[in-house]
């Protein structure tokens, strides 16, 4: 299992680099957004809500797109399009479902900024982002260990 995971033509390096870098930036952006949104929920601060919203819109979403596109590039380079691999399925299912959650959190935070409505939208966004962070921690473990 591990030996297979470390056999890699040099041609894949750029796609792997972009995939890992984008995934790391996305995790960092999600944690940053969660920190701002939970602080905004506690303080009722519109400035903190806006910072959380921007962390999602300007950092997390673009990083997600870069991570997902480079993942597809890697799969294509490795010829795994039709492969039935549990770790690959876990990666795609969680990221594709995660996009909906990420968009939902971004919209909730954006509406909270637009309406300056208080803590309800902020709390929803904060908890959605927290759930994403937990899921992506598991995904990173799965991508690294590649269980059969």
Partner 1 sequence: MSQTYVSPGPRSTVPSARSLTLRDAVYDTLLALHLISAAISFVTIVMFSAWAAGAPVTRGGFALSDAAWNLSGAGLLIFGVWLALYVDGYELWDGWILGALVLFAAVSVFGAQARTPVLAQLDAEAATERQVTMWHWLRTLALVGILVLMVWKPGA
Residue 122 sits in the site that holds partner 1 (CB under 8 A): no
C-alpha to C-alpha distance for 1 and 137, rounded to whole angstroms: 21
Q: How far is CA 41 from CA 62, 67, 112, in A?
A: 25, 29, 11
Residue 8 sits in the site that holds partner 1 (CB under 8 A): yes
Residues 58-77 that bind partner 1 (CB under 8 A): 59
Among 44, 47, 117, 118, binds partner 1 (CB under 8 A): 47
Tell me, by CB under 8 A, how many residues bind partner 1. 38
C-alpha to C-alpha distance for 137 and 130, rounded to whole angstroms: 11
Q: How far is CA 69 from CA 16, 87, 95, in A?
A: 11, 17, 11
3-state secondary structure 91-137: HHHHHHHHHHHHHHHHHHHHHHHHHCCCHHHHHHHHHHHHHHHHHHH
Closest approach of partner 1 to the CB of residue 57, in Å? 12
Residue 148 sits in the site that holds partner 1 (CB under 8 A): no
Closest approach of partner 1 to the CB of residue 20, in Å? 7
Closest approach of partner 1 to the CB of residue 121, in Å? 19
Residues binding partner 1 (CB under 8 A)? 1-3, 6-11, 13, 16-17, 20-21, 23-25, 27-29, 31-32, 35-36, 39, 47-48, 51, 54-55, 59, 137, 140-141, 143-146
């Amino acid at each position: 299992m591990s030996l297979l995971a470390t056999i890699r033509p040099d041609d894949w390096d750029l796609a792997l680099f972009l995939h890992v870098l984008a995934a790391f930036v996305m995790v960092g952006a999600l944690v940053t957004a969660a920190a701002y949104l939970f602080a905004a929920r506690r303080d009722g601060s519109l400035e903190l809500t806006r910072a959380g919203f921007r962390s999602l819109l300007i950092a997390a979403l673009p990083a997600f797109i870069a991570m997902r596109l480079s993942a597809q590039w890697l799969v294509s380079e490795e010829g795994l399009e039709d492969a039935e691999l549990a770790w690959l399925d876990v990666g795609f299912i969680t990221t594709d479902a995660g996009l909906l959650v990420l968009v939902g959190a971004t919209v909730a935070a954006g509406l909270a900024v637009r309406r300056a409505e208080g803590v309800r939208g902020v709390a929803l966004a904060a908890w959605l982002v927290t759930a994403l962070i937990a899921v992506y921690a598991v995904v990173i473990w799965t991508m690294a260990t590649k269980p059969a």
